[in-house]
Structure 1
Amino acid sequence: MAGRRSAYVGLHRKRTDWLLMGETVLCAVLAVVLCGTIALWQARAAERDSAIVAAQAKAGAASVESVSSNALKRRSVPQVNETLAKQREAEEQRARWTNPTGGTQPDLAQYTGISVDVDLAAQRAYVKSNGQTIYTMITSSGMDDSTPRGTYTVDARGLHFFNASEGMGADYWVRFYGPYLFHSVPTGQNFGEYLEDEGAKLGQPASHGCVRLSIADAKWLYEQLPDGTPVTIA
């Protein structure tokens, strides 16, 4: 009887030991799984934090770039405006010495008693019919009062000339006294090769004695002013 009891106790202890061992192994497995889960969670959290930091850095860089770009644009606007203003000024100035300076040019064939009066002080030439002004032109007379005063007569004309000693020529010339002419703003050696810096001087004394006109006015005078027309310079 005592032997059977002893065997039963021994078997019970073995079962208990096996259960304890199983529980221990299970706890160990659970611990490993838990540690792995924690490590994975921490890794993913770190990745998320890194992504957030990178996104914030990118957004900050984009913001700085945008601010810099806007600042550059603001700085560039005055420069662009200044450039455009200079271009407009140059275009307006060029138009002044290329276009008619007195508005619509009349057909002189429709008028009688044609004459031309040049006002050196005003830098204007007045085309008149029977004493009444029908067209006014902006001029450039001679520097140092070199345009001769007096009354003269138109007696010759031509398309182009070039003065090698002065290094300049002109188009559409009309002679009123000796070497003194009405003509376009200066050119180079060739017809139509206008010198812009000289053209810009129209309206102030700039020639060596001739009376400069805009291109359009010189062409009109060349085509329409009759020979024998009296010219008075005062």
Structure 2
Amino acid sequence: MIKKNVTISIIVGVVVLIAVGFGIISVNAKKAESVAVEQRIEKQKAAKIHKKELAIKKEKLNQWKHPSEKKDYPDLDKYKDAYIEVSIEDQKVYIKDGKDSNLYIMNAATGTKESPTPKGVFHIQNRGDSFYNPESKEGANYWTSFKDLGVYLFHSVPTDKEGKYDENEAHKLGERSSHGCVRLTIPDAKWVNTSVPDGMKVVVK
């Protein structure tokens, strides 16, 4: 009888140990699964952030192809006192309403320190579709002069002698990188060329 009870006790003990073991395994499995889920979520978050960063980088690299703002260009007929302000410090061109409010803000690239964009008050002069300068080996589209009748211009990012855009230079919008002119994105330069009237004031500071 004693042996039988001992045997039963041993069996019960083994069963309990097995049950406890399975319980521990189950808990550990759940913990492992929880950790795996958390790691998967973190990886997904990291992938989304990376994708967003790549999209922002791509958008920045291609900004020279697009308007600077995601809104329509202003109708200058509604703003008789409108003028253009070029900020060398900000590397921006501000289309002002005449009362110190911005109608539109453009990304720009002004002259280098060695070949600076002249500061002062000027006015829109002549304009043209495109040009190429053999000396600097650069050209541009949609040029609009504001000083010295064709010397200092608003124009698109640079082109080569074949009329193709120089992407290395195009990516320099936001930097002082021109020979003295004011570089703009292609659509911005086209808008200035086709919409800004002769005689409009240009303030470079």
TM-score normalized by structure 2? 0.68
CA distance in 2, matches of 1:190, 1:157: 21
2:186 maps to: 215
Task: Pick one of 135, 140, 143 that aligns with 2:112.
Answer: 143
Matched, 1:123 2:91: yes
Larger RCO (alpha carbons 8 Å, 6+ apart): 2
Tell me, in whole angstroms, the C-alpha distance in 2 between the residues paired with 1:169 and 1:141: 15
Moved over 3 A (4+): 84-91
Over 3 Å counting, the alpha-carbon distance change for 1:190 and 1:160 in structure 2 is: farther
CA distance in 2, matches of 1:123, 1:177: 19
Q: Distance in 1 between matches of 2:56 and 2:139?
A: 26
What TM-score, normalized to structure 1?
0.60
Residue 170 of structure 2: aligned partner: 199
Computed over aligned residues only, the root mean square deviation of the Cα atoms, in angstroms, reads 2.0
Structure number with the higher helix fraction is: 1
1:184 paired with 2:184, answer: no
Residues 195 and 89 of structure 1, relative CA distance in 2, 3 Å threshold: farther
Offset, 1:183: 0.4
Q: Which has the larger radius of gyration?
A: 1
CA apart distance, 1:112: 1.7
- 3-state SS, counterpart of residue 189 of structure 2: helix
Equivalent pairs counted in the alignment come to: 151
Q: Read off the aligned partner of 2:60 and give its amino acid letter.
A: Q
Match status 1:226 vs 2:197:
yes
SS of the equivalent of 1:139 reads strand
Structure 1 vs Structure 2: percent identity of aligned residues? 37
The 1:109–1:190 alpha-carbon spacing in structure 2 relative to 1, beyond 3 Å, is: farther
Q: Which residue of 1 aligns with 2:78?
A: 110
1:157 matched to 2:127? The reply is yes
The separation in 1 between residues aligned to 2:57 and 2:129, in whole angstroms, is 27
- Unaligned 5+ segments in structure 1 are 1-80
Are residues 188 and 232 of structure 1, via their aligned partners in 2, closer, same or farther at CA, if it must alter by over 3 Å? same
How has the CA–CA distance of structure 1 residues 168 and 90 changed in structure 2, closer, same or farther, with 3 Å as cutoff?
Answer: farther
Aligned residues of 2:62 and 2:171 also touching (Cα < 8 A): no
The runs of 5 or more residues in structure 2 that have no matched partner are 1-46
Q: Structure 2 residue aligned with 1:95, among 57, 62, 68?
A: 62
Instruction: Indicate whether 1:173 and 2:140 are aligned.
Output: no
